[in-house]
């Protein structure tokens, strides 16, 4: 597919970052390319054109950049999901699994009202541990998680399948083999 090829070519791959054996998929090159950035946002929101979306929730930190643009595009509010200790008001918190050990993420308890239609956004889904935590956090405060979208999927790591098993429709724009 031409579109996939063009957009994929704007992602830079850095071997052995942040540690040996990891192929880091760097989207700063995509973001820095005006047509690629617009195209990625347009394509991510395509299935929801004309549907009512109340909030877009973005995962710190690259999910803020893409999620902010997506929220603007669908005329929704934006809600940050952050590492613990960063948000100033009352929060809800959840532990989630990382490759080694666990961490915690938070959002403001009053950021989303029960029943609101929410799209979750991040740059990349790998094992799905981060996104799974975010979906649970959103559901904990009563959000209706309409979809999760990511520019990049690493399907061999099973994250997108994990979210679909939680009844969350997943949209991704390109896939890379391996991890
Ligand atoms: P996971 O929880 O395993 O799905 O990991 C997803 C999170 O880790 C996202 O916020 C990504 O930005 C980041 N991440 C994981 N693997 C990579 C990779 N190969 N290249 C770039 N970012 C990654």
Establish if 78 belongs to a structural domain. Answer: yes
- Which domain, by its residues, includes 100? 52-175
- Predicted confidence (pLDDT) at residue 5 exceeds the cutoff of 80: no
Establish if 124 belongs to a structural domain. Answer: yes
Gap between the Cα atoms of 126 and 159, Å rounded: 5
Q: How far is the CA of 50 from the centre of ligand 1 (A)?
A: 30
Mean pLDDT of 37-46: 96
- Asked whether 24 lines ligand 1 (CB < 6 A), one says yes
Question: Is 164 tagged catalytic?
Answer: no
- Predicted confidence (pLDDT) at residue 120 exceeds the cutoff of 90: yes
pLDDT in tens, 15-39: 999 999 999 999 999 999 999 999 9
Question: Is 62 tagged catalytic?
Answer: yes
Question: Which CATH number do you get for residue 105?
Answer: 3.40.50.2020
Closest C-alpha to ligand 1, atom 15: 126
State residue 1's pLDDT score: 45
What is the best residue among 28, 130, 174 to mutate for testing ligand 1's pocket, by most ligand atoms within 8 Å of CB?
Answer: 130
- Round the average pLDDT of the chain to a whole number and report it: 95
Count of domains forming the chain: 1
Establish if 37 belongs to a structural domain. Answer: no
Establish if 142 belongs to a structural domain. Answer: yes
- Predicted confidence (pLDDT) at residue 3 exceeds the cutoff of 80: no
Active-site residue, selected from the candidate residues 12, 35, 38, 99: 99
pLDDT in tens, 57-114: 999 999 999 999 999 999 999 999 999 999 999 999 999 988 778 999 999 999 999 9
Establish if 2 belongs to a structural domain. Answer: no
Establish if 20 belongs to a structural domain. Answer: no
């Amino acid at each position: 597919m031409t579109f996939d090829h063009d957009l994929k070519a704007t992602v830079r791959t850095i071997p052995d970052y942040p540690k040996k054996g990891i192929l880091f998929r760097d989207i700063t090159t995509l973001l820095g390319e005006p047509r690629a950035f617009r195209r990625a946002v347009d394509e991510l929101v395509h299935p929801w054109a004309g549907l009512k979306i109340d909030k877009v929730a973005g995962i710190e930190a690259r999910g803020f950049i893409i999620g902010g643009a997506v929220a603007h595009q669908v005329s929704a509010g934006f809600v940050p999901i952050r590492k613990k200790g960063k948000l100033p008001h009352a929060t809800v918190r959840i532990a989630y699994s990382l490759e080694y050990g666990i961490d915690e993420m938070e959002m403001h308890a009053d950021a989303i009202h029960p029943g609101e239609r929410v799209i979750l956004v991040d740059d990349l889904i790998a094992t799905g541990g981060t996104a799974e935590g975010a979906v649970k956090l959103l559901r904990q405060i009563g959000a209706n998680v309409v979809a999760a979208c990511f520019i990049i999927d690493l399907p061999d790591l099973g994250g997108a399948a994990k979210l679909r098993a939680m009844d969350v429709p997943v949209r991704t724009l390109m896939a890379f083999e391996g991890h």
